[in-house]
C-alpha cells in the first residue's frame, strides 16, 4: 500500500504538472493537495487500526443513514463536474465514494447478525435488496454509473460470501441488469459509452476518443516505456490524465513491465486482505475484511480494464494512485478497518496461547514441533 501511494504521487506529478501550471499557476498544485489527502487518510487509517472494529458495528445504521442523506442532498446541488451532480461542500466531498465503504460496513453488520436467517425472504433478500437498490438508485440519479456498478457488485458478492440464498442472489443480478438497461435508455452518456465500447471491439479506430488516446499511449510505451516524465499523450489531449487515466500515463512511461508491477502490488493487497478475512475471529470481521478487499480489487480492475478496452468506459478512480480526496481518504479508511481486523485477530490468537501453554507452532513453514511457554509464566526453562 505504501509503495502504491509513493508511486502514485510520483506519477500524479508527472501526469498533472502541465494542467496544474495552466489552471492554478503551480505545477505541483495537484500533487501537494494529494499529499494532504494522504496525510488525512493515513491518520484516519491509524485511528481505525487501533480501534476495535466491533465498535464500528454499533454505528453501522447511523453511517448508512447519514450516507443516504448526503446522496439525497447532493442531487439538489448544482455541479459542473462533467455534467453530473456528485459533490458537496464546494466539491470537497463525493458522497458516492463514502457510500461504498458505508454500504460494506452496514452489510457486514447486517449479514453477520442475521446469518442464520439469510436464506429467508424477509430477513435475507428484502433488506439486502432494499439497501443495495436504494444506494444504487441514488447514485445512478447523479448520474454515476461506475459507482452504481461497484455498489451493486460489491453488495451482491458480500451477500454470496455470507451464505445468501442463490435464488435471491439471482434476483440481485436481475436488479443490476434492470438498472443497467435503465441507464442505457435514460442517460445518453451511458448509451454512448456502451456503443463506443462495442464499436471499439470491432475496430479500434471506432473506439471513443479517450480509448484511442489511451491505446496510443500504450503502444508508445511498449515493454519498458519512454521514461519517467517523458510521456507526451498526457500533454496532447488524454482526458483527465491525473485521475481516471493515470494508469495510461504509467503504461506510456514505464511500459508493460511497469504496468504489470502495479497490478502485482494490487494482487498483493488483495492476497493479504483475503488472509486477514480468513483468519478473522468472527463473522463480522470476516465480512468486513472481505468487503474492503473486494472493493479495492473491483475499483482497480474497472479502472485498468477500461483503459485497456476490455470493459465499457467507467469513471472509477485507481485506488491509492488517482487524484481525489474522497477516494484516497475512504480507501485508506478501508485499509484502517482491515488492519483493525488483523490486529484483533492477533490479540485473539495471543489469548488462545495463554490458555494453551503447550501449543505447537509452525516456524517458517517447518513443523519442528517447537513449544512456546505461556505468556503468563515468563520464558524461563521448566
Within 8 A by CB and 6+ apart from 128, the residues are 107, 110, 111, 155, 159, 164, 168, 172
- pLDDT above 80 for 346: yes
For residue 366, the cross-strand partners are 363
Residue at grid coordinates 491525473: 242
* pLDDT confidence tier of residue 87, bands split at 50, 70 and 90: low
The domains of the chain are located at 33-371
Better-scored residue on pLDDT, 184 or 213: 213
Q: Give the pLDDT of residue 264.
A: 96
Q: Which of 197, 235, 242 is nearest to 217 (CA)?
A: 235
* pLDDT confidence tier of residue 9, bands split at 50, 70 and 90: very high
Q: Contact 74/122 with Cβ under 8 angstroms?
A: no
Q: Contact 280/286 with Cβ under 8 angstroms?
A: yes
Longest dimension (CA), the chain: 77
Report the residue count for the chain: 382
* pLDDT confidence tier of residue 371, bands split at 50, 70 and 90: very low
User: At 190, which helix (H) or strand (E)?
Assistant: helix 188-202
Q: Give the pLDDT of residue 271.
A: 95
Tell me the per-residue pLDDT of 107-134, one tens digit each, with 9 for 90 and over. Answer: 999 888 887 777 777 777 788 888 888 8
Tell me the per-residue pLDDT of 230-282, one tens digit each, with 9 for 90 and over. Answer: 999 888 888 888 888 899 999 999 999 999 999 999 999 999 999 999 999 89
Q: Contact 285/345 with Cβ under 8 angstroms?
A: yes
* Cα–Cα distance, 164 to 51 (Å, whole number): 29
Better-scored residue on pLDDT, 114 or 318: 318
- pLDDT above 70 for 1: yes
Q: b vs e for 362-376, b when ≥16 Cβ sit within 10 Å of the residue's Cβ?
A: eeeeeeeeeeeeeee
Query: Across all residues in the chain, what is the average pLDDT?
Result: 82
Amino acid at each position: 500500500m505504501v509503495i502504491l501511494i509513493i508511486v502514485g504521487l510520483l506519477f500524479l506529478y508527472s501526469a498533472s504538472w502541465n494542467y496544474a501550471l495552466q489552471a492554478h499557476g503551480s505545477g505541483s498544485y495537484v500533487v501537494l493537495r494529494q499529499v494532504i489527502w494522504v496525510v488525512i487518510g493515513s491518520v484516519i487509517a491509524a485511528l481505525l487500526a487501533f480501534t476495535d472494529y466491533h465498535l464500528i458495528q454499533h454505528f453501522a445504521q447511523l453511517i448508512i443513514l447519514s450516507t443516504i442523506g448526503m446522496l439525497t442532498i447532493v442531487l439538489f446541488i448544482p455541479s459542473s463536474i462533467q455534467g453530473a451532480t456528485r459533490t458537496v461542500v464546494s466539491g470537497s466531498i463525493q458522497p458516492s465514494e463514502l457510500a461504498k465503504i458505508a454500504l460494506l460496513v452496514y452489510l457486514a453488520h447486517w449479514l453477520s447478525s442475521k446469518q442464520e436467517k439469510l436464506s429467508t425472504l424477509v430477513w435475507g433478500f428484502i433488506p439486502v435488496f432494499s439497501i443495495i437498490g436504494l444506494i444504487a438508485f441514488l447514485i445512478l440519479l447523479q448520474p454515476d454509473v461506475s459507482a452504481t456498478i461497484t455498489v451493486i457488485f460489491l453488495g451482491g458478492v458480500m451477500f454470496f460470501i455470507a451464505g445468501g440464498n442463490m435464488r435471491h442472489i439471482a434476483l440481485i443480478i436481475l436488479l443490476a441488469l434492470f438498472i443497467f438497461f435503465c441507464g442505457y435508455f435514460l442517460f445518453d452518456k451511458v448509451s454512448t459509452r456502451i456503443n463506443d465500447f462495442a464499436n471499439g471491439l470491432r475496430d479500434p479506430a471506432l473506439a471513443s476518443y479517450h480509448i484511442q488516446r489511451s491505446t496510443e499511449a500504450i503502444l508508445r510505451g511498449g515493454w519498458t516505456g519512454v521514461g519517467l516524465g517523458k510521456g507526451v499523450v498526457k500533454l496532447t489531449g488524454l482526458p483527465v490524465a491525473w485521475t481516471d487515466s493515470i494508469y495510461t500515463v504509467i503504461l506510456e512511461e514505464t511500459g508493460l513491465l511497469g504496468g504489470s508491477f502495479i497490478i502485482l502490488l494490487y494482487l498483493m493487497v488483495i492476497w493479504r486482505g483475503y488472509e486477514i478475512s480468513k483468519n478473522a475471529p468472527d463473522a463480522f470481521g470476516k465480512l468486513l475484511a472481505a468487503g474492503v478487499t473486494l472493493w479495492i480489487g473491483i475499483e482497480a480492475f474497472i479502472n485498468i480494464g477500461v483503459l485497456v478496452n476490455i470493459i465499457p468506459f467507467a469513471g472509477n478512480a485507481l485506488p491509492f494512485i488517482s487524484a481525489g480526496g474522497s477516494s484516497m481518504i475512504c480507501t485508506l479508511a478501508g485499509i484502517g478497518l482491515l488492519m483493525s481486523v488483523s490486529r484483533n485477530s492477533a490479540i485473539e490468537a495471543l489469548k488462545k496461547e495463554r490458555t494453551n501453554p503447550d501449543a505447537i507452532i509452525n516456524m517458517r513453514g517447518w513443523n519442528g514441533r517447537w513449544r512456546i511457554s505461556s505468556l503468563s509464566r515468563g520464558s524461563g526453562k521448566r
